[in-house]
Amino acid sequence: MHINRKLTLGAGIGVLVMLCLAILWLSPILWMVKSSFGQTLFGGAMASLIPSTPVTLSHFSEAWQSADWLQLYGNTLFFTFGTLLVQLVAITVVGYVFAYYEFAGKNLLFYGFLMQMMIMPVMVMVPNLLTLKSMGLLDTLTGAMLPYFASGIGVFLMRQTFLNIPKELEEAAVLEGANWWQVLWYVLIPMARPAMLAFAVVSVTYHWNEYLWPLMVLSDPSKQLLTIGLVSFAMGAESGGDWGLVSAGTLMVCAPLVIAFLLFQKQFMRSFGFSGIK
């Protein structure tokens, strides 16, 4: 009984500590939400998260009118999901080849893909800019997407996923007369969907929040992304000290990812558990 009480007390303390850490981590987000709905951000009201003034949507209305959000959302959706679509095709085919085919230099080429993960993106920005300029793709969304089409971590993830699928399934499909793309489409991809979803979560989150590379490539305002538009919008709002307006604009950029996670969190967690991503 004494041991059980100790365990219960220890578990209770652990839950309390985790709850405090969660509140500490969430506090900036809670303040952003509160200020975006017209609540006082500084002053006496800062001591409480309880609304001290009537809730209003005026900050969202003003923020929406201050920038062409529809165009920014459209460009960002095209950039994010266009990149993801090409990535999924590329990493699936390349991962399948590395998992099931034998050819000269296979391991060396695979290690080359893995080396991509060790190179910091800022180190290749200037060479990439020069390459896009020579191809005539500078200041285009396609050019901004091009360096991300090949993903080292995606190839590694799909290769490991295919290696964990029994090879007998692929051999049985070949004996039935299926060619390589039929084996891939009808046999392997359905079993690798959790890993593909895990990669999609990482890819979408990364590219939705990408800022530095699109800023360097895209100079036409009609082709800018949400992150670039948010910074330009926030600089103007900050100069007037309107932090509620800045919070509303930031929430409008973050909201799609947060809503998507809340709606599909079970699928996300299952996909990460299946793929082994920590």
If you ran DSSP here, which 8-state letter would residue 50 be given? S
Residues 80 and 145: beta-carbon distance below 8 Å: no
188 domain residue, yes or no: yes
| Residue 120 counted as domain residue | yes
Check whether 142 has a pLDDT greater than 90. yes
Flag whether 148 is in a domain.
yes
Q: pTM for the complete prediction?
A: 0.83
**Distance between CA 199 and CA 158 in Å, rounded?**
9
Alpha helices by DSSP H, listed for 101-239, are: 106-115, 125-135, 141-145, 152-163, 167-175, 180-182, 189-208, 212-217, 226-239
Q: Does residue 20 fall inside a structural domain?
A: no
Segment 5-14, tens digit of pLDDT: 555 776 778 7
19 in any annotated domain: no
Report the domain count for the chain. Answer: 1
Query: Phi first, then psi: what are they for 235, rounded to 5°?
Result: -65, -40
Task: Give the tens place of pLDDT for each residue, 188-229.
Answer: 999 888 889 889 988 999 999 999 999 999 989 889 999 998
Residue 123 CB neighbour total at 10 angstroms: 8
Residue 253 and residue 227 in contact, taking contact as beta carbons nearer than 8 Å: yes
CA angle 71, 41, 230 (to 5 degrees): 20
* CATH number of the CATH domain containing 161: 1.10.3720.10
Both tokens of 138, joined, read 């500078």
Best CA proximity match to 248, nearest among 50, 47, 69? 69
Residue-level length of the chain: 278
Give the pair of three-digit tokens for residue 120.
Answer: 């910091």
Name, in order, each residue with C-beta under 8 angstroms of 197's C-beta and a sequence gap of 6 or more: 267, 268, 271
Q: Is the per-residue pLDDT at 269 higher than 80?
A: no
Higher pLDDT, 3 or 161: 161
10 part of a folded domain: no
Contacts of 143 (CB under 8 A, 6+ apart): 132, 135, 137, 217
Q: Within the chain, what is the greatest distance between any pair of CA atoms?
A: 76
Asked if residue 87 is part of any domain, the answer here is yes
Residue at 33 is within a domain:
no
The fraction of the chain above a pLDDT of 70, given in percent, is 84
pLDDT in tens, 227-248: 998 888 877 665 556 778 888 8
Among the listed residues 63, 55, 62, the one whose alpha carbon sits nearest the alpha carbon of residue 253: 63
Helices and strands (DSSP H and E) totals, the chain: 13, 0
Expressed as residue numbers, the domain containing 255 is: 62-275
Please give the residue that has the higher pLDDT: either 207 or 53.
Answer: 207
